[in-house]
């Protein structure tokens, strides 16, 4: 009787316990769902939310820009975000492994890896510069406040005059003359701009003249990579704990800066400039193109990071809810950051007596020139500078964590051995070292030229192409009906009708629009007055194509290696889902996945024990269980139900 109780209890534990745990102990899961949401928020909310969105908003009609921005969010941003999260979560695999859905398209995964590599290299250089400014803010007087430094030129005109208290009438005249020059905007360079160009970067005369390595920047780059590695040393188990701080504290800093900003004189004029709609621009195609591009790039679609982060979710996690929360939070942060930035820039414009458009900038120019200059006008300026650059560091690290984890996860999943799973830390260390070494050229005197080249080409239209092909593969090659059933099996409900329409028609159309618009509106990159030479633009295009070219190359390779006597047969075989395609854990492989692939990705000890006893003995135990439950068993099978003397 005791044996029967044990057998009955054991059989109950097989289906019940794994479902209760829903854990992939071999690969790992997030500690809880909050960690995933915070990590994804940190990934999506980055430096672009602070320096690109406000600039696009005032350049494209102020408040009028919000209309196309939110239209693109609803019809393209959130649907693509949900698609990538569900894609990674369904199979618990990174940006390479998920293409078991249609092996011929695995080149899309390699393209995502190439894009993430480029972005990870130059993104950490931006973070390291933020580290440098953070360290330099630990002083009583910010070094970019005045024009009396060795790196300043005669064209420098500071808004603070000179640091001397016994200024003569000539000095006062010089200050007045300088302010007049500021208003006229002729040949005026600010102390913060000269500090950025002549001291921090010591920019060379061209992209081909590397000059020397800027040792302080190189040191900060090492610090940045060490911080990223330590936060990822245990994969999502460690990064999931770090994001509680890195993903939330920037909002604390933004709020502090916002409260300080709106109390400054002239702040309201800056906010009005930020929000006042210029409705005549709503008909400009460029406004819609910028809105679509900002949504597309700020959410991090086609980088591979969303697929990777979702792959560590539990199978039945509601990623539909998560996609709404994260996307709305990302865009809300952009709008909120606009208030913070333009309140300060409005104060600065009021102080200088110029229009807000004369002091606003974008990209690194906003983060490391315009905003630092505005900080010098505030009381206790080093404190506000520390807070601002600390916020930039945290925003950058949140994105960098996911970029590095994307590459590491792709390598580990592709090799897939137990050794590589247990020694994932060494893979993380290796990727971090390679990333640091590849970033060293960006710390030279020509580094800023190469950084902007990578930003404009390596992660531009290639992202659009990758995302478009991903939609085509899932919706039209694998089949929209199959994918809708997969999502329903995972979430318990099918994708809403709106998302099904967007995935099949609306989002691909918008992506195609972005691609065409990017090509039509293409202009060669420039940096201030510097025009990039043609050979450097060729390198830029080569970087852009290096991620896209992975797709046709791997497709041809897969077709050639597939079974079949004709090209058409090989093509059909190469697009068929791999036998391993489907949920990672055996308890989730139901319906058409019940007999597909290996018996289980994760096998619990009890299941191993039952397997060793053999199939016949397992049938005997199942029949004994039915007998105990009072089920009627045909007499012809009675002889097989005699219990064995020992279990």
Residue 42 annotated as binding site: yes
Model pLDDT, residue 16 = 40
> Do 112 and 302 form a contact (C-beta atoms < 8 A)?
yes
Q: Where are the domains of the chain?
A: 33-150+188-561
CB atoms within 10 A of CB 74: 14
* CATH class of segment(s) 33-150+188-561: mainly alpha
Query: What is the predicted pLDDT for the residue at 168?
Result: 35
395 is in an annotated binding site: yes
Tell me which residue of 106, 136, 22, 78 sits closest to 556, measured CA to CA.
106
Give the CA distances from residue 79 to residues 85, 303, 503, 586, in Å, rounded to whole numbers and listed in that order. 10, 16, 7, 29
Report mean pLDDT in 10-residue bins for the chain, 647 residues.
Answer: 40 40 72 89 87 81 85 92 95 92 95 93 94 95 92 82 42 38 54 92 93 95 96 83 90 91 90 86 80 82 90 92 94 91 86 76 74 86 94 92 92 86 91 96 95 85 87 94 94 95 92 81 83 94 92 95 92 92 88 60 40 47 47 37 39
In three-state form (DSSP H/G/I as H, E/B as E, the rest C), the secondary structure along 587-609 is HHCCHHHCCCCCCCCCCCHHHHH
Q: What pLDDT score does 282 carry?
A: 83
Per the CB < 8 A criterion, the answer to whether 463 and 115 are in contact is: yes
Which stretch of DSSP H or E encloses residue 531? strand 530-531
Q: Is 562 annotated as a binding residue?
A: no
pLDDT of residue 585: 87
Has 45 been labeled as part of a binding site? Answer: yes
C-alpha distance from residue 108 to each of 24, 93, 265 (Å): 26, 14, 51
**Phi, psi (deg, nearest 5) at residue 252:** -65, -45
pLDDT of residue 602: 41
Distance set, CA 120 to CA 401, 446, 583 (Å): 9, 19, 30
Distance (Å, whole) CA 126 – CA 130:
6
């Amino acid at each position: 009787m005791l044996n029967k109780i044990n057998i009955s209890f054991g059989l109950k534990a097989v289906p019940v316990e794994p479902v209760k745990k829903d854990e992939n102990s071999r690969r790992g899961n997030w500690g809880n769902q909050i960690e995933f949401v915070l990590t994804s928020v940190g990934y999506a909310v980055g430096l672009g939310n602070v320096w690109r969105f406000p600039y696009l908003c005032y350049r494209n009609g102020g408040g009028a820009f919000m209309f196309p921005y939110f239209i693109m969010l609803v019809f393209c941003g959130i649907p693509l975000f949900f698609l990538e999260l569900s894609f990674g979560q369904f199979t618990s695999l990174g940006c390479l492994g998920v293409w078991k859905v249609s092996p011929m398209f695995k080149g899309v995964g390699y393209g995502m890896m190439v894009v993430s590599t480029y972005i990870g290299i130059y993104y950490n250089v931006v973070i390291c510069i933020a580290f440098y400014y953070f360290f330099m803010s630990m002083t009583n007087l910010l070094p970019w406040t005045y024009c009396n430094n060795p790196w300043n030129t005669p064209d420098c005109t500071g808004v603070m005059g000179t640091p001397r208290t016994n200024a003569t009438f000539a000095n006062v005249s010089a200050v007045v003359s300088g302010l007049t020059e500021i208003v006229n905007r002729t040949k005026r360079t600010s102390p913060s701009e000269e500090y950025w160009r002549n001291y921090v970067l010591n920019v060379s005369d061209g992209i081909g003249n590397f000059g020397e390595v800027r040792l302080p920047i190189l040191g900060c780059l090492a610090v940045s990579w060490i911080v990223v590695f330590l936060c990822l040393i245990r994969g999502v188990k460690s990064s999931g704990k770090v994001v509680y701080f890195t993903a939330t504290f920037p909002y604390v800093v933004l709020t502090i800066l916002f409260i300080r900003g709106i109390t400054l004189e002239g702040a309201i004029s800056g906010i009005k400039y930020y929000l006042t709609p210029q409705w005549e621009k709503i008909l400009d195609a460029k406004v819609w193109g910028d809105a679509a591009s900002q949504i597309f790039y700020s959410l991090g679609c086609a980088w591979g990071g969303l697929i990777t982060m979702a792959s560590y979710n539990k199978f039945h996690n509601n990623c539909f809810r998560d996609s709404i929360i994260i996307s709305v939070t990302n865009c809300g942060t952009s709008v909120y950051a606009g208030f913070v930035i333009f309140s300060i820039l409005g104060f600065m414009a009021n102080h200088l007596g110029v229009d807000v458009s004369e002091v606003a900038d974008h990209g690194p120019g906003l983060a490391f020139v315009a905003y630092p200059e505005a900080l010098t006008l505030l009381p206790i300026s080093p404190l506000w500078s520390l807070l601002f650059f600390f916020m930039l560091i945290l925003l950058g690290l949140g994105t960098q964590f996911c970029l590095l984890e994307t590459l590491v996860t792709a390598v580990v999943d592709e090799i897939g051995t137990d050794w590589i799973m247990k020694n994932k830390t060494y893979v993380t260390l290796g990727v971090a070292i390679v990333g640091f070494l590849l970033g060293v050229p960006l710390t030279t005197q020509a580094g800023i030229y190469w950084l902007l080249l990578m930003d404009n080409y390596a992660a531009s239209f290639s992202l659009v192409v990758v995302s478009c092909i991903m939609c085509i593969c899932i919706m039209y090659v694998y089949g929209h009906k199959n994918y809708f059933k997969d999502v329903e099996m995972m979430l318990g409900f099918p994708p809403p009708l709106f998302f099904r329409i967007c995935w099949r028609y609306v989002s691909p159309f918008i992506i195609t629009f972005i691609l065409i618009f990017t090509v039509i509106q293409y202009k060669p990159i420039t940096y201030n007055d510097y025009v990039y030479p043609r050979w450097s633009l060729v390198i830029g295009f080569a970087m852009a194509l290096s991620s896209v070219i992975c797709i046709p190359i791997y497709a041809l390779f897969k077709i050639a290696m597939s079974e079949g006597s004709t090209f058409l047969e090989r093509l059909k075989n190469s697009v068929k889902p791999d036998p391993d395609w489907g949920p990672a854990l055996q308890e989730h492989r139901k319906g058409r996945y019940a007999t597909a692939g290996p018996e289980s990705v994760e096998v619990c000890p009890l299941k191993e024990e039952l397997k060793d006893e053999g199939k016949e003995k397992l049938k005997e135990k199942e029949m004994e269980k039915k007998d105990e439950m009072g089920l009627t068993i045909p007499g012809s099978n009675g002889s097989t139900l005699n219990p064995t003397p020992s279990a």
